[in-house]
Amino acid sequence: MPQAGRNVVLVDGARTPFGKAGPKGLYAETRADDLVVRVLRELLRRNPNLPPERIDEVAIAATTQIGDQGLTLGRSAAMLAGLPKSVPGYSVDRMCAGAMTAATSVAAGIGVGAYDVALAAGVEHMGRHPMGEGVDPNPRFLAEKIVDPEALLMGKTAENLHDRFPHLTKERADAYAVASQEKTAKAYADGKIQPDLVPVALRSAEKGYGLATADEPPRPGTSMESLAGLKTPFRPHGRVTAGNAAGLNDGATGAVLAAEEVADELGLTKKLRLVSYAFAGVEPEVMGYGPVPSTEKALAKAGLSIDDIGLFEINEAFAVQVLSLLDHYGIADDDPRVNPMGGAIAVGHPLASSGIRLMTYLARDFLDHPEVRYGVTSMCIGLGMGGTVIWENPNYTQEA
């Protein structure tokens, strides 16, 4: 009989540097599947104690599953990465929470004994595949008013969140964005981000060969003054700008998850221990509020309260979306427990890959804070959802 109810740990995580989407971005002439293959190979290289034949599953997420992000990525990328043909794989799509869902799905399989070790990953090449490319939304969505027309434009949902919570002003969103840029610059200066980055070889018809070793989107030196005059593309005199939201980005992430007893058997590291997870839905027109109910559900499943959480990694699709979660729990905009190394406003948000980026950041946070027992990774999801995963710090010591 398979052994059920096992502890699940995140053994390791890595990612490519994130690039700006478009013809001048880092990965303009790089295939999406090659990005995620690079991450899978790096995870195998970094974990020599893990025999590739012990990997039981590969789940890879992409939001736009077309072209070089199609063809059952979990299987095709696994083969391209050199994994044995005996290792199966599949694709995942939960829009922005793709990698998060890939990780929780294989973790559930590990918990019930279906897998011992699995790889979860996510990739998004928004330069090659703009969000929504090739989709054909059912006309009933609008004809029968199943969703508000603005629900299909993420920037407008962020403006709607400002409407719902008018005290979450543009000034507060801009201040949060400035802080994200500053924290990211400091994390780079302190060498905290670089260890989890996988250098990616680049080829450009115009520039020749190169190597991506750092995130392209950060804008160090961003100030309140520089943000104040930016256009509000989603509404005249609005509050959401390119400065207080994540950009359009390319990149891939990946992680190794395992049963804790198997990680111990193989001598693998343990960076995060899974406690609980939850996904929840909200009105699609206020998509950014999704992390509130998903966090409530995850806390309830874990038997914890928000006061038990010592570190938060919240995806910064829009500053107002992070602020709405903090406001719900009475957490200050500048609370040092929240995104201590900055977030997506600075480093970028390549949709389906971002969930594992949050996990690698939390693993780094946990190393720095052995006195913290529990942390959260959370994100809003297109079409009105939120996802939250609660993790325990394997380095936790009460005496710290």
- Convert the pLDDT of each residue in 53-70 to its tens digit: 999 999 999 999 999 999
Residue from 125, 129, 162, 349 carrying the catalytic annotation: 349
Q: Please give the chain's pLDDT, 400 residues, in tens.
A: 445 589 999 999 999 999 999 999 999 999 999 999 999 999 999 999 999 999 999 999 999 999 999 999 999 999 999 999 999 999 999 999 999 999 999 999 999 999 999 999 999 999 999 988 888 989 998 899 898 888 878 999 999 999 999 999 999 999 999 999 999 999 999 999 999 999 999 998 888 999 999 999 999 999 999 999 999 999 999 999 999 999 999 999 999 999 999 999 999 999 999 999 999 999 999 999 999 999 999 999 999 999 999 999 999 999 999 999 999 999 999 999 999 999 999 999 999 999 999 999 999 999 999 999 999 999 999 999 999 999 999 999 875 4
What pLDDT score was predicted for residue 143? 92
349 among known catalytic residues: yes
129 among known catalytic residues: no
What pLDDT score was predicted for residue 1? 45
Q: Which of 356, 349, 358, 297 is nearest to 319 (CA)?
A: 349
Question: What's the mean pLDDT when you consider all of the chain?
Answer: 96
Indicate the DSSP class of residue 189: H
Residue from 125, 129, 162, 380 carrying the catalytic annotation: 380
380 among known catalytic residues: yes
Residue type, 396: Y
Distance CA 316, CA 314 (A): 6
Backbone angles phi, psi at 162, to 5 degrees: -60, -40
**Cβ contact 98:63 at 8 Å:** yes
Distance CA 28, CA 136 (A): 26
Distance CA 43, CA 57 (A): 14
The distance in angstroms from the start CA to the end CA of the chain is: 40
Architecture (CATH level 2) of domain 147-193+275-391: 3-Layer(aba) Sandwich (3.40)
Model pLDDT for residues 110-153, shown as the tens digit of each residue: 999 999 999 999 999 999 999 888 889 899 988 998 988 888 78
Q: What residues have CB less than 8 Å from 224, skipping those under 6 apart?
A: 171, 174, 175, 178
What pLDDT score was predicted for residue 390? 98
Residue from 96, 129, 162, 369 carrying the catalytic annotation: 96
Q: Which of 239, 266, 270 is nearest to 173 (CA)?
A: 239
Distance CA 377, CA 357 (A): 10
Distances (CA, A) of 33 to 96, 122, 217, 239, 252: 18, 10, 21, 36, 9
How many Cα atoms sit within 13 Å of 270 on the Cβ side? 21
Distance CA 297, CA 25 (A): 38
- The domain locations on the chain are 147-193+275-391
Lookup result for tokens 């920037």: 155
What pLDDT score was predicted for residue 152? 79
